[in-house]
Amino acid sequence: MDNSHPASPSAFGRAYVFDMDGTIYLGDRLLPGVRRTIGELRRRGIPVRFLSNNPTKDPQQYVEKLETLGLPTGIDDICNTVVTTTRWLKEHHTDATVFAIAEEPLRRALSEAGIRQSEDPEEIDIVIASYDRTFDYRKLQIAFDAIWFHKRAFLIQTNPDRFCPFPGGRGEPDCAAITAAIEACTNTTCRVNLGKPSPIMIQESLRGADVALEDCVMVGDRLQTDIQMALDTGMRSACVLTGEATAEDVAALDDTHRPTWTIDRLDRLIPSSVWEELGWAETDD
């Protein structure tokens, strides 16, 4: 392999956790090197998990998307903020009444989990801020009344992302914008984040894998979420330059905040000795 490429691992990890959008695919296109990377890890029996901070899809929808892209995946290998939010509420606030500023996948998951939902500020215990493209003043007023006027509810969020990137360089305001609106009018602070970089997300994704975090590799394209989560939990990390982060962004970080590896495409995760063994060429996918 050409030495001008970013350094890649010399050995395999015991498990791999992948961000999806910007790492595995961009829009409706599988990114270069993804198919053979996941295939080789699975062939070796290495656990592979997929993460997303996007609560506008449930795990089954991600399964269907990956299947369409030619990457069949079991539902238990998918963890997103629909999963983490529902499980956290069930484990820590079983009897709470929640108001979810959210789209249908999260609201449906909450209902299926038996979590009571309400739009009556007098009975709301927890306000959930989420990536909600139907957010309006009515929803903000309900959150305001529950938190500020009735002084009853507290605020949590599904994810801290400021925006959701789209192919072509555009994007949409994400959960952090809704969280900020609620914090601004209520003079309160969000208590819990249930998406990356929260350790809650990585712990949920690796349930049942029986591997130590320091033996796992987190792979993603966002320094503030994917890579920061790895740093906070003692995981090794690879920043792939196919999404948000650029080589310049990584170079600007001090040593304590840099990923273990910076790679230009996903198959750089596979050690170079294995490339040679398998006869892989850079033009192959």
Q: Is the dihedral of CA 172, 250, 156, 23 positive or negative?
A: positive
Residue 1 has pLDDT above 90, yes or no: no
Average pLDDT of 148-170?
A: 90
Q: Given this model, what pLDDT does residue 167 score?
A: 72
Average pLDDT of 135-164?
A: 96
Residue 6 has pLDDT above 80, yes or no: no
Q: Given this model, what pLDDT does residue 170 score?
A: 82
Alpha carbon of 129 to those of 70, 154, 255: distances in Å? 33, 11, 33
Total-model pTM: 0.90
pLDDT digits (tens, 9 = 90+) for 60-98: 999 999 999 999 999 999 999 999 999 999 999 999 999
pLDDT digits (tens, 9 = 90+) for 229-274: 999 999 999 999 999 899 999 999 999 999 999 999 999 999 999 9
Which stretches within the chain are classed as H helix?
A: 34-43, 59-68, 81-92, 104-112, 137-144, 175-186, 199-205, 228-233, 247-251, 272-278
Q: Given this model, what pLDDT does residue 171 score?
A: 85
pLDDT digits (tens, 9 = 90+) for 187-239: 999 999 999 999 999 999 998 888 999 999 999 999 999 999 999 999 999 99
3-state DSSP call for residue 30? strand
pLDDT band at 4 (very low <50, low <70, confident <90, very high): very low
Q: Given this model, what pLDDT does residue 75 score?
A: 96
**How far apart, in whole angstroms, are the C-alpha atoms of residue 20 and residue 49?**
10
CB 240 within 8 A of CB 37: no
Q: Given this model, what pLDDT does residue 5 score?
A: 42
**Alpha-carbon dihedral of residues 252, 193, 238, 282, nearest 10 degrees?**
-110
Q: Given this model, what pLDDT does residue 284 score?
A: 67
Q: Given this model, what pLDDT does residue 86 score?
A: 97
What is the set of domains in the chain, with CATH numbers?
Answer: 15-53+198-278 (3.40.50.1000), 82-193 (3.40.50.1000)
pLDDT digits (tens, 9 = 90+) for 89-126: 999 999 999 999 999 999 999 999 999 999 999 999 99
**How far apart, in whole angstroms, are the C-alpha atoms of residue 231 and residue 257?**
7
Phi, psi of 268 (to 5 degrees): -65, -15
